[in-house]
Homo-oligomer: A and B are copies of this chain.
Amino acid sequence: MPDRAAVATAGSEPGAAVMTAGFGACLAAAARRIDAHLGEVLRGFPDHTVTQAMIHAIRGGKGLRGFLVLESAALHDVAPGRAIWPAAAIEAMHGYSLVHDDLPCMDDDHLRRGEPTVHVKWDEATAVLAGDALQALAFELAAHPGAGPGGIRAELALSLARAGGAGGMVMGQALDIAAETAEVPLTLAQITALQAGKTGALIDWAACAGARLAGADPGPFHAYAAALGLAFQIADDILDVEGDADRAGKSLRKDMRAGKATFVSLLGLAGARARAAELAGEACEALAPFGARADGLRAAARFAISRDN
């Protein structure tokens, strides 16, 4: 599939390419573009173990968050050359969170995207530092002059800091770690709040990036992202139970073994599937004002609940 099939690179009407080329091809093309951009930026860094670990950590992701940036930017008629900076930023931020989450003192995971995790391939110090540097890189990319006028870049950096910090992603991760040793399993409301931070905050930032790049109100994209983020996490819980570790590229059945409450343990498999489908529908609905131009983002919501990795 040539890169030009991707919505955000084609320069054609947003949403159209997804309909013709299929979502999987568009997502893969977006991920390739973002990987290439990150690779180019990282070639400017000192050739050091930490830089190699950073490259290892960001390679091979689905690129869903970056796709949301590119697609929401196209929806606002923002040039792809500007949108690639925050798209790369959110993938760097997501990559940092995975490297640190995989550490022995956190989730202690050895496999990620089908490859050994950073602390397994190198060591823990390298994983701490590569994650730290990826977070710094995320802000370098979000505030980069290529992304547009100063006021917009400041807003992108500020909102990314809030999404990633102790009021957003880190809080979700902290609640998740605490849940592992909690005596009483979490309730549905607690898991929903936890995931709104852990997974939801970065997805919200990605979906709102297009509006921010255009200096427009991200309003409707918050509702889209809230439904998409929750659907994504329910699908993750289903994948943890039903998935194939080779296809997923990471360890599965961990929550079940740990006896952690998940959307599946609380809703049952059928209930979880129904709730995920309902949320994907809500995500699509939230974009009604944008008509067919939002079909790429709608396809992302459907993808979130049907993926196998």
Contacts and interface: CB of A to CB of B under 8 A. Distances in A.
Contacts of A154: 143, 150-151, 153-154, 157
Given A136-B135, A139-B161, A154-B150, A103 B129 contact: no
A164 interface: yes
A212 to B, nearest CB: 12
Contact of A170 (B103, B105, B132): B132
Interface residues of A, number: 57
Interface in A108-138: 123-126, 128-129, 131-133, 135-138
Given A105-B123, A128-B103, A166-B136, A150 B155 contact: yes
A213 to B, nearest CB: 13
A291 interface: no
B105 A171 contact: no
Given A100-B128, A106-B125, A128-B105, A162 B150 contact: no
B123 A140 contact: no
A94 interface: no
Contact of A166 (B45, B100, B161, B173): B45
Contacts of A136: 135, 161-162, 164-166, 168, 170
A201 to B, nearest CB: 11
Most central of A124, A140, A167 by chain B CB within 10 Å: A140
Given A50-B171, A105-B124, A150-B152, 17 more contacts: A45-B166, A46-B171, A49-B178, A100-B132, A129-B173, A132-B170, A133-B165, A133-B166, A135-B135, A136-B165, A136-B170, A139-B158, A140-B162, A140-B165, A143-B158, A150-B150, A151-B151
19 contacts: A42-B166, A54-B166, A96-B132, A103-B128, A126-B174, A129-B174, A132-B170, A133-B171, A135-B135, A135-B136, A136-B161, A136-B164, A140-B162, A143-B158, A145-B158, A150-B153, A151-B151, A151-B154, A153-B154
